[in-house]
Structure 1
Amino acid sequence: MKRFLLIIVLVAFACPAGAEMYRWVDEKGTVHFTDDPSTIPERYRPDAETRKGPRETTPPGARGKSTTSPLSQPPPKTSEPQGFDVPLLRSSQLMFVEVLLNGRVKRNFIVDSGASYTLIDRGTARDLGITIDEYTPFIPVATVSDVILTPLVTLKSIQVGQAEVENVDALIYTMPSEKEGLLGNSFLGKFRVVLDSVNGKMTLHPVKGSPSPDRPGGYDRDYWAGRFRFLHYNIGVLRKLKTSYERKDARTELNRVNNAIRYFENQLGDWERKASLAGVPHNWRE
């Protein structure tokens, strides 16, 4: 196995869907993940975030009794859009799904809703005709032993079964152990994900519904707030990294980070315009 593995890939390898993970950020802006809270340095523990993978269901008739009381389950939303059922392939603790990239390249990707981004390997990037140049934004990614700058690209579309999302952010990286890619929240975040390992399927319920006073643009407060929080966080991390590279006079890295800052600032501007048109309250955008 290759020496350097992406932390977000390690999360998928180490934990089955639904496992509890902890996310923390050090003083350099590096994001870390662990399933053991005792490994988090004490000064970072108060700000550590708990994260869980997609919910896994047990269908009626499955063996064993549920450990969760039915009363603790939230009532189903009657207005929720119809979901898309997608076959799953399981290998050990990993779940894979077939994806169609840009309408022409098929791959089997690991499913991991705990990963912020979708990952594609370099061979897939070549097959898609993606090139990396001086204008490509790079973002910092923590590996086992280092922090590296990784190219960020936008795929025209990703289709999983009948579910399709356009303009999906993805990171290009050499995947470990011949894995072809990872389906992360840049795609899965557009859906409520339900995994049914007994029947070997994943159901994707679109989070966008009909616009209403409490769902401007068809999205609820959590979706809008999460999107703005994500963009503000990335811009903050990149600005800190920019300062570090300026001190080191690391011109190549500085150029890549500046490209990333411009990219996320443009994204933030686009989302501000969308939010204004949809009538999203300003306190949802902080």
Structure 2
Amino acid sequence: MGWTQKTARWLVVFAVLAATLPVSAEIYRWVDASGKMHFTQDLAKVPMRYRADSKARADAPKADSPVQHYTPSLPPASLSGRRKQPDAAEKMKTHHIRVQRAGASMRVMVRINGELDVPFIIDTGATDVVLPMSAAKQLGLAVDGPDVRMTTVQTANGLTQAAVLMLDSVVLGSARVETVSSLALPGMDEGLLGLSFFNHFTYSIDTSRGVVSLTENDLAAEGVLRGGRNESRWKLQFQSAYHQISSTESLAKSAPFGRDRVKAEARHEQAVERLRLLEDEADDARVPFRWRN
């Protein structure tokens, strides 16, 4: 399946590598206030406060190789217990995967749930893996109904509903990650391989050779990651759900009797149901209760 205009529209929304950039486009990197590193090939996607520094780093003379590196931020040892220092025999495995150019973006084939090979665009600007709705249906995954949590996503064509899924496995080359948070979106021909996969690795991208190198980390084994998300990401999900319940409850109580109150109460019930589905999702990923506050 080739590069399509439809996929390009989604890439704009998810802050991935812009197709209008030349093949030799720089990778712009920045570290946000929480210490988390991001990168993109679209300078416009870099927050204004970090843009000048990010551009200066990208424009700086390179050494011998145009290799770009990324290491996930590690939490303090107190958050994950005593961090063991690996000896030489315990070094994490490194995987080298060839990528195909799609404009200035990088395209790879990914095996989902050990069953279906799906084309993906590498996108570390996406929090989760984003799966085309058609692929999710081919896999027999539930993408609608009362037991599927839905979330609203802003796209280039407006707001749309995405199904929240927990994939059994995502395999890129020889690199395999299990229990991966994802979204299923309609209107996509190719998926977006986001941070719920890449957070399991320290990775580098050699743009001249077209190779992505992934070195396994132990963040999942140490309990720092659950379903590819860290503590702050899960807390944000639950805080949003609690806020929706509180706000819809207030609106229901203040709504006048009649049709308006019925609608408001229905929205509140939907918010409560979304929290239940989020709890189920967290249970599947073995998320600690302290991350759900």
Equivalent of residue 196 in structure 1, options 206, 209, 213: 206
Alignment correspondent of 1:271: 287
CA positional deviation for 1:219: 3.6
Alignment correspondent of 2:135: 124
Q: Distance in 2 between matches of 1:252 and 1:186?
A: 32
| TM-score w.r.t. length of structure 1 | 0.64
Alignment RMSD, CA only? 4.4
Alignment correspondent of 1:12: 16
| TM-score w.r.t. length of structure 2 | 0.63
Is it true that 1:84 corresponds to 2:56 in the alignment? no
Alignment correspondent of 1:227: 230
Residue pair 1:11, 1:34 contacting (<8 A) in 2 also = no
Q: Distance in 2 between matches of 1:187 and 1:116?
A: 9
> Deviation per CA, 1:103-155, whole angstroms, max 9, x where unpaired?
11111101112211111112111110122211111123223464444210112
Letter of the 1:107 partner, please give it. Answer: V
CA positional deviation for 1:259: 4.0
Matched length: 234
Residue pair 1:87, 1:202 contacting (<8 A) in 2 also = yes
Equivalent of residue 258 in structure 1, options 259, 269, 272: 272
Q: Distance in 2 between matches of 1:191 and 1:237?
A: 28
Residue pair 2:14, 2:125 contacting (<8 A) in 1 also = no
Q: Distance in 1 between matches of 2:197 and 2:139?
A: 18
Is it true that 1:113 corresponds to 2:124 in the alignment? yes
CA positional deviation for 1:94: 0.7
Residue pair 1:122, 1:173 contacting (<8 A) in 2 also = yes
Max Rg structure: 2
Pairing 1:1-286 to 2, within 5 Å after superposition: 9-14=13-18, 18-20=27-29, 35=45, 37=47, 62=65, 80-131=91-142, 132-144=144-156, 146-176=158-188, 179-208=189-218, 218-219=221-222, 227-246=230-249, 247=251, 249=263, 257-266=271-280, 270-272=286-288
Q: Distance in 2 between matches of 1:257 and 1:141?
A: 16
Q: CA separation of 1:99/1:241 partners in 2, compared to 1, >3 Å: closer, same or farther?
A: same
Structure 2 spans left out of the alignment, 5+ residues:
34-42, 69-86, 252-259
Q: CA separation of 1:101/1:188 partners in 2, compared to 1, >3 Å: closer, same or farther?
A: same
> Deviation per CA, 1:18-56, whole angstroms, max 9, x where unpaired?
3247989xxxxxxxx962645xxxxxx8xxxx999xx9x
